[in-house]
Structure 1
Amino acid sequence: MRTNLFRGDGVARRAVMLAAWAWAIAPQRMARAQTSTRIKIAAASNLKFVLADLKSLFQQATGIQVDVNLGASGNLARQILQGLPVEQFISADEDRVAELFKAGRTLDAGQRYATGRLALIVPSNSALPLAQGLAAVVRSLKPGDKFAIANPALAPYGVAAEEALQRSGVGPLVARHKVLGDNVGQATQFVATGAAQAGITALALAMVPEMANKLQVLALTEKLHAPLHQRMVLLQGASPAAQAWQLFLASPQAQAVFIRHGYGLPQ
């Protein structure tokens, strides 16, 4: 169930405008932030490639290095509650941030930074009818074929994948076809390596050059699932450097990188 805690979040767009102003004066802020030249964060697996680009831009501008612990949002939230030493959590959904906020582990309720997209994927040499869409691919699976998604109990992209299957008319996957990844990155690898014959992943993971020779990709319409509002939050004790990093992620410069990687702007 998706939480209502952040519904009507009209401050998100204003936060982006504020972040743009804050980023413009970042050089002055960085003089004070240099006491912490390395920050540790936890981030959802769908962000692997976009964060690589963003970390590089931020380090070039500030000299601050960002170390990322990637995983399923559910697992990361649980680890943070158990004491994982990170300064920021970049979740693939809002529910996990809400859990940490209610537990008093965050500075505030956080802010949306992007909207996720789904993609249907098959191996590059597959004969499955990808162009015909999700329902056609699932109905063309042979008895021994596997269809990979992220575990819905841990990853919001898994929840969205199940919604897409339902709304496309396929309904729940039968047990003999379904294989679950611990996170959306692992689900992607199942298909890229041929361990699964098809799957649903984050568009941001499927469209990178590293996958060009491994996957055929079809972006799925957002009408097939509830919006994937992705939210980030600073944890208690976050350093000035971590705060500057979060402001950077909401800046127009960073938003352009998110869009290039297949995300939508925060809604």
Structure 2
Amino acid sequence: MSFPCRVFSCVCLWLLSVLLLLPTVGNALAGDVLGREARVAVAANFVPALRALAETFEARHGGRIGIVVGSTGKLYAQIHHGAPFDALFAADERRPALLEAEGRARPGSRFSYAIGRLALWSPQTGRVDSAGRVLSEGRFRHLAIANPKLAPYGRATQQVLEGRGLWQTLRARLVRGENVGQALQFVRSGNAELGFVALSQIQRPGQAVAGSHWVVPEDLYAPIVQQAVLLTGNPLAADFLRFVQGTEGRDIIRSFGYQLP
């Protein structure tokens, strides 16, 4: 074989080896990208704040925080049935503590990230007064609430209504959502004129609350201490939880109307 032919053959073999390696390199790169993802389950009340936290974290550190929304009770049940979540942001402290005790969470990872605040809200200006008297005056057909059996904000709502002697009186008017996010949607869609929601759902940093609302005094319901817990060894999820506990993360949480533990 002549020298030019040998050179041509060597070049062809080299190109072929490179082409054969490309799928392997591509798969490795794709695997690295996929490895920089964390699936975070979150109670409905905390969704706006968590999205802001995730966007800031992703901009700083890369990766992707996937968000799965539900009531705390339902998310807890899904974790029991093997749902592939890397972390849970619950609306209470009981379910994260149970997951830790059951060995379904990383030891020592549980922490309180916020104290929730309950609000009565209507998109209509003037419908809800600043003392919540509208509840006893009855100038509405339907009142949206989160299911007290599934959602901590629903339990807090029941405590408020029972404390005012209105739970039995208003039961026929209640529209129950699986979580506080659904309660908010019932009001927004017009299926209820007003509803009990998380203050964080209607308050945005630097913006006035639209419509009319009553921030329920905290002595009318048990404190809504909200905890998070790491469920797997996903390093991105662990980094995200550390970010949430840092100064920048806490400032973001506070800006959505939460108190800090």
Q: Deviations over 1:5-39 (max 9, x none)?
A: xxxxxxxxxxxxxxxxxxxxxxxxxxxx9883111
Contact kept in structure 2, 1:92 and 1:228, CA below 8 Å: yes
1:47-90 C-alpha deviation (Å, 9 max, x unpaired)? 11111110111001110210010110000000001000011011
Does residue 173 of structure 2 align to residue 174 of structure 1?
no
Q: Residues 202 and 218 from structure 1, CA distance in 2 versus in 1: closer, same or farther, beyond 3 angstroms?
A: same
Structure 2: distance between partners of 1:153 and 1:121:
21
- 1:100 and 1:173 mapped to 2: Cα distance? 37
CA shift in 2, pair 1:167/1:88, >3 Å: same
Q: Does residue 139 in structure 1 map to residue 148 in structure 2?
A: no
- Note the alpha carbon deviations across 1:231-260, whole angstroms, 9 max, x for none: 00001x321211111111111111111110
Aligned-pair identity (%): 33
Aligned to 1:160: 156
Q: Distance in 2 between matches of 1:194 and 1:89?
A: 31
TM-score, reference length from structure 2: 0.81
The alpha-carbon deviation at position 123 of structure 1 amounts to 2.8
Residue identity matched to 2:123: P
Instruction: Output the amino acid matched with 1:121.
Output: W
Partner of 1:119: 119
Distance in structure 1 (CA, Å) of the matches to 2:142 and 2:39: 36
1:192 to 188, 191, 194: 188
* Residue 189 to residue 215, structure 1, CA distance change in 2 (3 Å): farther
Name structure 1 gaps, 5 residues minimum.
1-32
For 2:240, the aligned partner's letter is W
After superposition, give the CA deviation of every residue in 1:206-250 in whole Å (9 maximum; x if it has no partner).
Answer: 2238x9786322211111111100000001x32121111111111
Higher helix share: 2
Does residue 148 of structure 2 align to residue 149 of structure 1? Answer: no
Distance 2:211 2:47 in 1: 17
* Residues 87-102 of structure 1 aligned to structure 2 (within 5 Å): 87-102=86-101
- The aligned runs of 1:206-245 (5 Å cut-off) are 206-208=202-204, 215-235=211-231, 237-245=232-240
Larger Rg: 2
Matches within 5 A, 1:6-155: 36-108=35-107, 110-125=110-125, 128=127, 130-134=128-132, 136-142=133-139, 145-155=141-151
Question: Which amino acid counterpart does residue 163 of structure 1 have in structure 2?
Answer: Q
Deviations 1:183-228 (A, max 9, x none): 101101111222102211100002238x978632221111111110
Unaligned stretches of 5+ residues in structure 2: 1-31
Report the Cα distance in structure 1 between the residues aligned to 2:209 and 2:163, rounded to whole angstroms: 30
Task: Give the total of aligned pairs.
Answer: 228
- Sort the Cα spacing of 1:212 and 1:188 in 2 relative to 1 into closer, same or farther, 3 A: farther
Instruction: Please give the secondary structure, in 2, of the residue aligned with 1:76.
Output: helix
Q: Distance in 2 between matches of 1:197 and 1:86?
A: 35
Residue identity in the other structure for 2:119: A
Question: Which consecutive aligned stretches of 4+ in structure 1 deviate over 4 angstroms post-superposition?
Answer: 211-214
- How far does residue 176 in structure 1 lie from its aligned partner after superposition? 1.8
Alpha-carbon RMSD across the aligned residues, in angstroms, is: 2.2
Does the aligned pair in 1 maintain the 2:202–2:209 contact within 8 Å?
Answer: no
Tell me if structure 1 keeps the 8 A contact 2:129–2:213.
Answer: no
CA distance in 1, matches of 2:216, 2:101: 33
